[in-house]
Amino acid sequence: MENFQSDNIDLRYRGFGGPLNVAYKEPKQDLSQLKLSGKEEAVPYVEDYNAKGQIGFSRHQRNIRCGKRESGATAYVRPSMTRHNFNLTLNAFVTKIIIDRSTKTAKGVEFMKSGKKYVALSKKEVIISGGAVNSPQLLMLSGIGLEDDLSKHNISLIQELPVGQYLKDHAGFKVYYRSNQTIPKESFRKLLEEFVQGRGMLTNLDNTLTYTYVNTKNKSSTVPNMEFALLARTPVPEPIPEITNYIPEVENYTQNINQQRDFTLAVHLLHPESVGRIKLKSSDPKDFPLIDVALFDDPQDLELMYNGTEIFKQFGETPFAKHYNLTMFDFTFCDEYERDSKAYWYCAIQKLAYSTYHMSSTVKMAPRKDPFAVVDNKLRVYGIKKLRVADCSIMPTTISGHNNAACFVIGERAADWIKSDYGISTME
C-alpha cells in the first residue's frame, strides 16, 4: 500500500509504488550530534524504524508527498471519485445501523444530512469505519452492547457484546528544554514559498526531528515499549495545547514555554496495562459518548513511565544537548519533593500525562471465548450477519507505534476479504 521515498530502502520490509506516500521532511537535518559514542547504554541510530529493527533513534517519517499531507482522502478517496460503484456523501451523520431483529441481519444505516433523516440500504453488507470512539458508540446506539448499559438509555438489546469495554491508548508525557538560542519568526510569504517547493516548516508543522524506540523493561528485546519524539524549535510559534486538566500551577508552567527557543522531548508508553472504557452518555447520537482512557489505572504503567526518564538523562549528555546548552525545565509544581527523586518524577508524570489520541480496541477482534471479543478474524460482528467493523477499534491491543498505518492495513485487508467473500474481482 505504501510508496516509500528514500535513498535506502530495505525491500524486505518496505514497499514502493503503492497509493500512500511516506517521505522525510526536506531539507534533512544532520542527526550526528544525537549519537552518544563510546557508551554501551546509549541509544543507537537506526536508518529506518519501519524496517528490520526498531530499537534506536531515526529520522522522522511522515505521510507527505512533495511536502504536502498524504491521507486516506488523497491516496484512496479522490482517485476513486469517478468510479461507477463509489458514492461519497459529505456532511452526513450516521445515527443508527438498521438491523432486522428476527434474523439479526444488518440491512443498512440511518443518517442525517442538512437536517433531514435518510436511509441507505445495503445489497451485500454494512461496514462501519467510525474509529475507536464512534464505532462502538454507533453499535451501542443500534442495540449491540451490554444489556445493563443499553437499558439505562432505553435502547433495546439485539446482541449482547462487550462493546467499548476494552479501550486501549498510549499514554504521553512531555519534558521541555530551554536552549541558548532563539530562532526568529519567519514571514508567511517565505514559509509559503518553501511549502510550494515541497520543503520547509509548513511540511512538518510540529517540527519533529526524530523518533526513538526503546524497551526499558528488557534491553535485549527487539520490541519497543516506549517511543520518544524530539520536537525542535519552530519559527511558527503556536500556543501550547491545554494538556494539563486545568491545574492552575501546571498551566503556569506551560505558559513559560517559548517555542522559538525551547525543545520538547515527548515520551509515549506503547503497551500500557491500563484498560479504559467507552459508554453512552444518552441515546441521542449527537451526544458525545463518555470516554475514560484510565491513564495509570494499573500502577505498572506509572512505574514504566518513570523508568523512561533515564532516556531524558542520556539525551542531556548528547553533543546536541550540549551544543544548544539545553536545560530541562524544573517541575515547579512538584517542589514539595526532592528534585530528581522518584516521588518528584511521579508527581510530574501524573500531572502532565495526556492521551496521545491513539485509542483502539473498543470493538476488539478476538476468538469468541475472549471476554472482550466483539468481531471475528474477518472483522464480522459476532451474532450479527452482514456487519463488519474496519478501523482501529478492532485492534486486539495497542501497537508499537502510531495507529495511522495500521488503519490503512485494516482497510486493505477488509477490502480483500469482502471481494473474496462475494466473488468480486480486483477490477470491479
Residues flagged as binding site: 94
Distance CA 252, CA 242 (A): 11
Phi then psi dihedrals of residue 19, to 5 deg: -75, -20
Count CA within 13 A, CB hemisphere, residue 365.
Answer: 20
Query: How many Å apart are CA 263 and CA 260, to the nearest integer?
Result: 9
Q: Could you say which of 60, 268, 271, 358 is catalytic?
A: 358
Query: Cis (ω within 30 of 0) for the bond into 319?
Result: no
Q: Where are the alpha helices (DSSP H) in 57-130?
A: 72
Residue with cell 503503492: 18
Beta bridge partners of 45: 57
Q: Provide the grid cell at 114.
A: 442538512
**Angstrom distances, CA of residue 178 to CA of 30, 85, 318, 344:** 20, 55, 15, 20
Q: DSSP letters of 49-62?
A: TTSS--SEEEEPEE
Q: Report how far Cα 42 is from the mean position of its chain's Cα atoms.
A: 27
Residue type, 313: K
Give the Cα separation of 268 and 354 in Å (integer). Answer: 9
Catalytic (active site) residue 402: yes
Grid cell digits, residue 406: 495500521
List residues bridging with 173 in a β-sheet: 267
25 Cα distance to chain centroid? 20
Closest CA to 271 of 117, 103, 400: 400
Q: Rounded to whole angstroms, how far apart are CA atoms 351 and 135?
A: 30
| Residue numbers belonging to the annotated binding site for FAD | 94
CA distance 274 to 294: 6
| 63 CA to centre of own chain | 13
Q: Please, is 170 exposed, middle or buried when counting C-beta atoms within 10 Å of its C-beta (0-12, 13-18, 19+)?
A: buried
Q: Which residues are catalytic?
A: 358, 402
